[in-house]
Amino acid sequence: IRESATLTRDVLEQHFSDLKGTLKKLLDERLMSLLQEVDAIEQESIKPLDECQKLIEHGISTADDLLREGESAVHGDVGQQNEKLCSFTKKALHIQLDSLPEVPSLVDVPCLSAQLDDCLLTILKDQIFRHGTVASRPPVQLEEFVEKPGGILVRWCKVDDDFIPQDYRLQYRKSAASHFEDVYVGSETEFIVLHIDPNVDYQFRVCARGDGRQEWSPWSVPQIGRTTLVPHEWTAGLEGYSLSSRRNIALRNDSQSCGVLYSKAPTYSCGQTLTFRIETVGQPDRRDSLGVCVEQQNGSDSLQRDKAVCISTNGAVFVNGKEMTNQLPAVTSGSTVTFDMEVVQLGPCSNEGGNFKLRVTISSNNREVVFDWVLDQCCGSLYFGCSFSYPGWKVLVF
């Protein structure tokens, strides 16, 4: 409580300090804009009046000079009087002393004033006193961490009955990292975080955005999650497939070589969920396969064989090489295919010749098939694999 209270005080003080600086900057910018507007109006309005004043002053000065010259001609010597009067007369005829520039009426001359609405203070006061809230607890909290190979399934839940969420935002960071980063934003209440190093602590937190709101709620209490399961990886080096840097994505390339791409090790165990996600699709073929097997058989070009269960890209399900009557939808770009297995029999040999039975559930596109897979040996862990006859297929495993 003390730690969160101290952190909340620091956040509030920093936020309002930043707000003060921003408001001062905005007020200074507005003041500068209004002063520039005053300068512009003043310069634009005063220019014709200044020109008019200059013309009037010039006319008065000219008339004054002519008046002096006339007085000089009248009071001068008799010999020069005629010459001066002649010169005075010529100048007087050329100078229009009876005309002045048009002077605008007083009501047409701009008279600047500042209009300042005092209601701004009232509006700001109302907004400021409603700005910010202090919550005793966040409306959503982390609920569960489920270990996945190379990942963690994170679940969260709403703890405030009055809060109506629109979106959730999940963040995580390594225990040694300083900054959280977004890993999911959406309406679901669970998400599988991939690319997790095994046996390393990760810190998670979640928040939510209320229906019709723009701001996010306070963060949940950060919690530690980790996985002890090594990530699933494809075997590198097979000519027909290109792998991502983490070797969890396989792309069927343009090579003519065709075969089954297996996992690097038998990392799938009963009780776990194995997921294939189709990132891109190519031309389908009836020999295509996605599934699990007891052992690698490098001479085979498909998992539609003994000691393997798989699904073809057209949705056909094969158990030990035999096609089942039940069929799943054909896979498309973005489809996920999941395998779940559990041990249902372990004992002496049955009439079918096996002594180890697994109950297998294969799901794809919101449909699933369930069957028993009979083996003649106990298998604690299994390989997974895929095979595609044509290029363009890309599949992620986790």
Name beta bridge partners: 165.
Answer: 210
At 204-241, the pLDDT tens digits run 999 999 888 888 998 999 999 999 988 999 999 888 99
Contact 318, 387 (CB under 8 A): no
CA geometry: angle at 234 spanning 230 and 236, to 5°? 120
- Give the model's pLDDT for residue 96: 67
Q: Average pLDDT of 293-314? A: 92
For residue 342, CA distances in Å to 149, 338, 381 come to 17, 14, 11
* Token pair for 317: 């399900």
Report the C-alpha gap between 306 and 353 in whole angstroms. Answer: 14
* Token pair for 242: 């290109």
Tell me whether strands 322-327 and 336-346 are parallel, antiparallel or unpaired. Answer: unpaired
| Domains 140-227 and 241-397 equal at CATH topology level | no
User: Domain segments of the chain: what residues?
Assistant: 1-130, 140-227, 241-397
Residues 6+ apart with CB under 8 A from 92: 66, 70
pLDDT(202) > 90:
yes
At 236-268, the pLDDT tens digits run 988 899 999 999 999 999 988 878 999 999 999
Report the C-alpha gap between 272 and 342 in whole angstroms. Answer: 9
Pick the CATH number of 241-397 from 3.10.450.50, 2.30.42.10, 2.60.120.920, 3.40.50.720: 2.60.120.920
Look up the CATH architecture of domain 140-227. Answer: Sandwich (2.60)
Report the C-alpha gap between 121 and 127 in whole angstroms. Answer: 10
Confidence of residue 397 (pLDDT cuts 50, 70, 90): very high
